[in-house]
């Protein structure tokens, strides 16, 4: 049975459970936009705004989960378990590990950039033009609570979204169009790998897989996210 919970059990070092834990570390349970649920079989669900993360080794009652997801109607669903849900596109992504022995250059990276400068770059690579207020509120909150950290190298940015003892996870990686092709993203990511001195991970959509393969990143596995269609 899926039930709302107000504290989390001991979680593993899997990407999914650590992402759920990062929500908890940033916000706790005192906000209406963040809810946590137990699936009763060891699985945990978090609903953060319009995004859902499901951590489960298996799904015991698929009908109950399907009804639950239809009720929530999130914009995006992340789960390691393949699901089939009407109105959602299944989008493949690849988990990469940063190369351990990449030679990082002696570069100056801004580790406390103005978030407006970061957003100006991100909006050129992500469809977030109309999400500035939401992005700024969440990102600044996570940074203040030590969950996330943004970095800037010239016109390239990357964010450490969360970390645990065994890995750090990165995303929101983008370069302004005028600086693309100059190797800035590669330099920044190599630098971050040395800075964190632990396994560093990121997800890449299909159109970016060749870049990371060419930069020496190690492919770990493929999975899918489920994105609600705009006409659904």
Residue ranges and CATH numbers for the domains of the chain are 3-86 (no CATH), 95-222 (3.40.630.30)
Tokens of 43: 């699985």
Burial class (CB in 10 A: 0-12, 13-18, 19+), 32: exposed
Mean pLDDT for the stretch of residues 10-38: 95
pLDDT tens, 96-142? Answer: 999 988 877 789 999 999 999 999 999 999 999 899 999 999 999 99
Would strands 76-78 and 51-55 be described as parallel, antiparallel, or unpaired? parallel
pLDDT tens, 63-74? Answer: 888 899 999 999
Identify the band that residue 232 occupies on the pLDDT scale cut at 50, 70 and 90.
low
Residues 6+ apart with CB under 8 A from 109: 151, 152, 153, 188, 191
* Separation CA 81–CA 191 (nearest Å): 33
Res 90 pLDDT > 70: yes
Res 59 pLDDT > 80: no
């Amino acid at each position: 049975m899926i039930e709302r919970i107000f504290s989390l059990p001991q979680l593993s070092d899997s990407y999914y459970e650590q992402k759920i834990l990062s929500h908890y570390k940033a916000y706790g349970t005192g906000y209406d936009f963040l809810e946590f649920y137990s699936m009763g079989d060891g699985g945990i669900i978090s609903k953060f705004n319009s995004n859902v993360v499901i951590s489960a080794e298996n799904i015991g009652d698929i009908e109950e989960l399907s009804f639950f997801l239809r009720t929530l109607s999130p914009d995006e669903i992340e789960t390691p378990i393949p699901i089939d849900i009407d109105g959602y596109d299944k989008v493949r992504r690849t988990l990469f590990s940063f190369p351990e022995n990449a030679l990082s250059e002696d570069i100056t990276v801004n580790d406390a950039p103005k978030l407006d400068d970061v957003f100006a770059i991100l909006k050129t690579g992500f469809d977030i033009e109309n999400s500035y207020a939401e992005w700024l509120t969440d990102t600044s909150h996570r940074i203040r609570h030590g969950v996330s950290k943004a970095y800037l190298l010239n016109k390239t940015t990357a964010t450490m979204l969360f970390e645990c003892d065994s890995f750090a996870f990165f995303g929101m990686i983008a370069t302004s169009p005028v600086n693309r092709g100059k190797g800035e993203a590669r330099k920044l990511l190599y630098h971050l790998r040395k800075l964190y001195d632990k396994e560093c991970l990121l997800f890449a959509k299909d159109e970016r897989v060749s870049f990371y393969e060419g930069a020496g990143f190690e492919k770990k596995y493929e999975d899918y996210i489920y994105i609600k269609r705009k006409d659904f």
